[in-house]
Amino acid sequence: MGHAVSAGRTRALHTLTHEQLATLVPELLLTGQLIDRSGMAHLIAAFGREGMTDVAIEEWMAASPVYTGRIRAALGIDGDGVEDMFKCLQLDIGAPPQFMDFRYRIDDEHHGAFVLDHCGALLDVEPMGEEYVTAMCHTIEDPTFDATAIATNRRARIRPVHRPPRVPADRAPHCEWLVTIEPDREELPLPEVTKPIMATRAAGVELTPIDPGASDGLVDYRGPLMADLVFGEWSTSALVRILEEVTLQHQLLALGFLDAVSRKTADEATVDDIFDKQLIGIAGIASERILTAGFESSSDARTLVDVLNLNPVFGPSQYTGMRAEAVDDETVEVHIAHSSPALEDGGWMRLLVSGRTGALQAAARAVDPTWVVGESAEIDVDGHQESVVSIARGEPQRESSEVAIVRFSAGTDFTFADRGPSRPLPLHVV
């Protein structure tokens, strides 16, 4: 990993090797999935199981059509068939590879199916009881699957063949779903909760363009659907853009979460408390996943800078205006621009600028417990205001309860396997 002082997030990505970029993609897809493990426990405490279910439905319905549309545009997925829908699912934080092990089948352009050979989300929820399983696999999945599908084709429908609660208890695959597109079927409308997210700065932010002439790998996804995406087969340029898009998916889901929680209560303090707890939990786990993926083996200031600049809850920099810098061997500064699109949207960056720095502490502690977040200050840089937060060595910090809650999920220590080269799926069953 590059160790340039003053490296912002985009520059940090561009300093990674091709292999490091490819390794990071599934890691960030997984941390996106774990955002819900970070937020849902606090929703249950505040609103009960039914309230949690309502928020989960609304946040995914709000965000997934927006970020699916972005990944289609970025990678040239310009068709409207089942194959195109499946391509988008492979790059969706709702379906991180292997942890949510989708296996696809294409019958023809308008008909197909998928099973989950392994559903990490199910295995997390099954110990909580059948009511929670039903809430996730029935109440939440029905509307959210369709919301994802309409980004490809508004006449698409995703319907279950079987799904949990599992009978027998060890049934495999965990579930099976049919996907159909009927040309004369009524189009599904855009969900009302999606419209505010489509109007955010996040929805339209410009990210690093893919070099169409790159010769070191794939530059788009216009070819056949692959059974598994092998990210090492993509060009360096494409991997940078994919990582930025996946990072932005985190931000869009958080905005959907914030809107949904705000509809549950008019108490702004309660909303921000829940939103902050969600951010703290996922910030710590994301830093930890980046470290354990093999990016760093030390705990010095430059390592902390790199991990903070790669942590998806703080990026992409084009959106958040956040960067970490090493001042010296014992001090790191985090700069957050006040003119960023993220602050206009009122999402996670707003919490940090307002003085809620628990997420920075959780992210720094994952690198080493002796990194301690200090006071924040406002400075002027060439006529632009920034918040600056200092992180220095101090007494070892205990892990926050918010991070500990996320460890309930097996995703926090999930290990990705090398499945070998990718292979295309046949267009028809053979």
Burial degree of 245 (CB within 10 A; 0-12, 13-18, 19+): buried
Q: What is the pTM of this model?
A: 0.95
List, for the chain, all residue ranges whose pLDDT scores fall below the cut of 70: 1-11, 295-297, 426-430
Residue 181's pLDDT is what?
A: 97
Span 259-269, pLDDT tens digits: 999 999 999 99
- CATH code linked to domain 268-410: 3.30.1380
Span 324-363, pLDDT tens digits: 999 999 999 999 999 999 999 999 999 999 999 999 999 9
CA 336 – CA 354 distance, rounded (Å): 11
**Domain coordinates in residue numbering, the chain:** 16-248, 268-410
Residue 295's pLDDT is what?
A: 67
Angle (CA) 90-119-231 rounded to 5° is 30
Mean pLDDT, the chain, whole residue set: 93
